[in-house]
Structure 1
C-alpha cells in the first residue's frame, strides 16, 4: 500500500484527475445507489477550496503590497486591458453565433423564486457596497471584492511596518499556500465525487432537448479559448500562444470545469502562477480580481440565452442593437458571482433591454440551470483558466519590452 501511494503521488496531478474522472463515470453507471458515499467527496473538496481561498487571497495580497518595493512596476494595467477585451470580444462572438445559428427555447417554469438584479445601476451599487463591506463579513461570505479592498488597504498601511512584521505576513502566506497544496492534491478524489454526482442527479437525457443551445454555447466558448484568446496573447507576446493556452486549460481549466466555481479555483490558479514563475506582486491581485471581473464565459451565456429568448418571442433585433447587448453582457458579466450559476441571474438584466417580461426571463434562467451541468462547467473553465493566461501574457509582454527571457510562455505545453 505504501509503494502504491508513493507511485500515485509521483504521477502528475492531471493524470490523477483523469483517473478520478474515469472512476467517477464508472461508479455512476454501475453503482448509482452509492450516491451519498461518493458525492460527499466532491462536496468536501469544493468546500475545502472555498474555505481556504478567502484567507489565501487576503494574506497573499496583503503581503505582496506590504513588501512591494518602490519603483518596481507590476503588470496590472495590461492584465485589466486583457480582461476587458476578452470579456467584450466574447460577447461579440456570442452575438455573431446567435445570428448565424438562431435557436428557440421551450420555456419552462422553475426559477420564479430567484431574485435577479433589476438593472445595471443595481449591479454597480452592489459592487460598490461590496467594496466597503465589513472585513469579517467579506471573509465569511467570500466577497472577493471586499477582501481585495481590505487586503490592498491593509497592505498599503503595512508598507511602513518593520521587517519582522512583513516576515510574519510572509510566513502566514507560505503556511496557507502549503494548506492549499494539500487540498489540491485531493482533487482526483473530489472530482471523482463531482462527476459522479452530476451524472447520477442530472443524467444526460435532460440535456438532449437543449442540444442545439448547448452546442452554440460550448462552440462559442471553444472558439474564444482556441482563437480569440490566443490572438490576444499573440498581440501582447509576439510568440506562439498555444503552449500556454493548452497548459492553462489543462492545469486550471480541468479543475474549474468540475468545481464550477471561479472562487474555488483561485488556489489552483495561484499555484499555477507560482509554477510559471510569474510576479507575485501581480498575480496575487490579478487572480482573485479575475475571478470577479474576467467573465468571457458569462458574457457568452448572457448574450446567447438572451438572443434565444428574443428569437423565441419573435422580437426583431438588428445587429447594432445586438452589439449593444455585448456591452450590457460585458458589464453584467463583471458583476456575476464567482460561484456556480452566478451568470444566469443576470440574464433578466440583458432581456430587459428588449422589453422581455421578467417572468419570461426567469423561465430562461430555469433553462440555464437545466443545461448548467455542461454550460456552467465550460463557462467556469474558460473564465478561470484565462485569469492565468492573461496574467502570464502580461508578464511575457513586460519581459519582451525589457528584452529579457521569461518562462511565462512555455516552449512546450
Structure 2
C-alpha cells in the first residue's frame, strides 16, 4: 500500500486530477445512487482550501511587508494597471460579442428573494466597509480586502520589530504553506467529488435550453484567455506569451474551474507564483488582491446577461450606451466579491442603464443560477488564472526594462 501511494504521488498533479475527473464522470453516469457519499469529498476539499486561505494571506502579506528591505521596489502599480486593463477589455469583448451574436432568453423565476445593490455607490460603499472590517470578522467571513488591510497595517508596524519576531512570522508562513501543500495534494479526490456532484445534481439536459447563451459566455471567456490576455502579455514582455498563458490555465485555471471559488484558489496561485520564481513581496499582495478585484470573467457575465435581457425586451442600444455598459461591467465586476451572490447580483445594476424593470432583471439572475455550473466555473477559472498571469507579466516586463537599461549603460 505504501509503495502504491509513493508511485501515485510521483505522478504529476495535473495527471492525477484528470484521473479524478474521469472517475467522477464514470461514477456519476453509472452509479449515481450507490456512490452518493462521494460529493462530501468535494465539499471537504473546497472547505479546507477556504479555511486555510485567509490565514495564509494574513501571514504571507504581513511577513512580506515586515521583512521588506528599504529601497526594494515591487510591481504593484503595474499589476493594478494590468488588472484594470484586463477587466475593462473583457467588458468590451462581451459587448461586441453580444452585438454580433444577439441572444434572447426564456425568462424564469428563482431569484426573487435576493437583494441586488441599488447602484455603483452602494457597491463602492460595501468595498470601503470591507476594508475597515474587524480583523476577526474579516478572517471568519473570508473578507480579503479586510484581511489585506490588516496584514498591510500590521506588516508596516512590525517593520521595526527585532529579527526574531520577523523570523517567527516567516516560520508561521512556512508552516501554513506546508498545510496548503497537504490540502492541494488531495485535489484529485476533491475534484472527483465536485465533478460527481455537478453531474448528478444538475445534469447536462438542464443546460440545453440555454446552450446559445452558454456558448456566448464561454466563447468570450476563451477569447479573453487565449487572445486578449496573451496580447497584453506580449505588449508588456515582447515575448511569446503562450507558454506562460497555458501554464497558468493548466496549473491555476483547472483548480478554479472545479472549486468555483477565487478565495479557495489563492493557495494554488501562491504556490504557482513561487514555482515561477516571482518576487514574494509582490505576489503575496497581488494574488489575494487579484482574487478580490481582478474580475474579467465577472465583467463578461454582467455584460452578456444584461444585453440578453435588453434583446429579450426589444430595447434598442446605441453605441455610447454600449461603451458605458463596458465601463459599468468592469467597475461592477471589481466589486463583485464584496456583494453576496457575486457577479450575478450585479446584473440588475447594469440593467438599470436600459430601464429594464427590476423583476425582469432578477429573472435574468435566475437564468444565471441555472447555467451557473458552467458559467461560474469558467468565470472563476479566467479570473483566478489571470491573477498569476498579470503578476508574472509585470515581473517579466520589469526585467525586460532593467535589461535594456543595463545594455544602454554598458
Tell me the TM-score range normalised by the shorter chain: over 0.9
Output the aligned Cα RMSD. 1.1
Unaligned segments of structure 2, at least 5 residues = 405-410
Work out the CA distance in 2 between the residues paired with 1:316 and 1:403. 52
Post-superposition Cα deviations, 1:345-385, rounded to whole Å, max 9, x if no partner, equal 11111111111111111100000010011111000000000
Q: Cα distance, 1:339 vs. partner?
A: 9.7
Work out the CA distance in 1 between the residues paired with 2:131 and 2:217. 32
Report the 3-state secondary structure (helix = DSSP H, G, I; strand = E; otherwise coil) of the residue aligned with 1:180. helix
1:103 aligns with 2:87: no
**Which position in structure 2 is the counterpart of 1:213?**
213
Post-superposition Cα deviations, 1:259-295, rounded to whole Å, max 9, x if no partner, equal 0000110000000001111000000000000001000
Q: Superposition pairs for residues 56-71 of structure 1, below 5 Å? A: 56-71=56-71
Unaligned segments of structure 1, at least 5 residues = 405-413
**Which position in structure 1 is the counterpart of 2:254?**
254
**Which position in structure 2 is the counterpart of 1:226?**
226
Q: Superposition pairs for residues 208-357 of structure 1, below 5 Å? A: 208-337=208-337, 342-357=342-357
Deviation >3 Å, runs of 4+: 338-341
Work out the CA distance in 2 between the residues paired with 1:131 and 1:293. 13
Post-superposition Cα deviations, 1:142-199, rounded to whole Å, max 9, x if no partner, equal 0000000000000000000000000000000000000000000000000000000000
Note if contact 2:270-2:283 (Cα within 8 Å) is conserved in structure 1: yes
Note if contact 2:130-2:338 (Cα within 8 Å) is conserved in structure 1: no
**Which position in structure 2 is the counterpart of 1:40?**
40
Q: Cα distance, 1:342 vs. partner?
A: 1.3
**Which position in structure 2 is the counterpart of 1:408?**
none
1:200 aligns with 2:200: yes
Q: Cα distance, 1:401 vs. partner?
A: 1.3
Q: Cα distance, 1:338 vs. partner?
A: 7.7
Work out the CA distance in 1 between the residues paired with 2:399 and 2:166. 27
Report the 3-state secondary structure (helix = DSSP H, G, I; strand = E; otherwise coil) of the residue aligned with 2:284. helix
1:54 aligns with 2:61: no
Aligned length: 404
Q: Cα distance, 1:36 vs. partner?
A: 3.7
1:121 aligns with 2:125: no
**Which position in structure 1 is the counterpart of 2:408?**
none
Work out the CA distance in 2 between the residues paired with 1:145 and 1:260. 19
Post-superposition Cα deviations, 1:76-116, rounded to whole Å, max 9, x if no partner, equal 11100100000000000000000000010000001000111
Work out the CA distance in 2 between the residues paired with 1:234 and 1:338. 32
- Decide whether aligned partners of structure 1 residues 34 and 287 sit closer, same or farther in structure 2, where only a CA change above 3 A counts: farther
Post-superposition Cα deviations, 1:381-410, rounded to whole Å, max 9, x if no partner, equal 000000000000001011111119xxxxxx
Work out the CA distance in 2 between the residues paired with 1:339 and 1:381. 19
Q: Cα distance, 1:340 vs. partner?
A: 9.9
Note if contact 1:35-1:197 (Cα within 8 Å) is conserved in structure 2: no
Given the two structures, how large is their TM-score scaled by the length of structure 1? 0.97
Report the 3-state secondary structure (helix = DSSP H, G, I; strand = E; otherwise coil) of the residue aligned with 1:15. helix
- Decide whether aligned partners of structure 1 residues 55 and 46 sit closer, same or farther in structure 2, where only a CA change above 3 A counts: same
Note if contact 2:27-2:35 (Cα within 8 Å) is conserved in structure 1: no
**Which position in structure 2 is the counterpart of 1:400?**
400
Q: Cα distance, 1:35 vs. partner?
A: 5.2
Report the 3-state secondary structure (helix = DSSP H, G, I; strand = E; otherwise coil) of the residue aligned with 2:9. helix
Q: Cα distance, 1:228 vs. partner?
A: 0.2
Given the two structures, how large is their TM-score scaled by the length of structure 2? 0.97
Note if contact 2:123-2:338 (Cα within 8 Å) is conserved in structure 1: no
Report the 3-state secondary structure (helix = DSSP H, G, I; strand = E; otherwise coil) of the residue aligned with 2:38. helix
Work out the CA distance in 1 between the residues paired with 2:338 and 2:101. 29
1:167 aligns with 2:164: no
Post-superposition Cα deviations, 1:61-81, rounded to whole Å, max 9, x if no partner, equal 000000000000001111001
1:131 aligns with 2:125: no
Work out the CA distance in 2 between the residues paired with 1:341 and 1:115. 9
**Which position in structure 2 is the counterpart of 1:378?**
378
Note if contact 2:65-2:155 (Cα within 8 Å) is conserved in structure 1: yes
Note if contact 2:127-2:338 (Cα within 8 Å) is conserved in structure 1: no
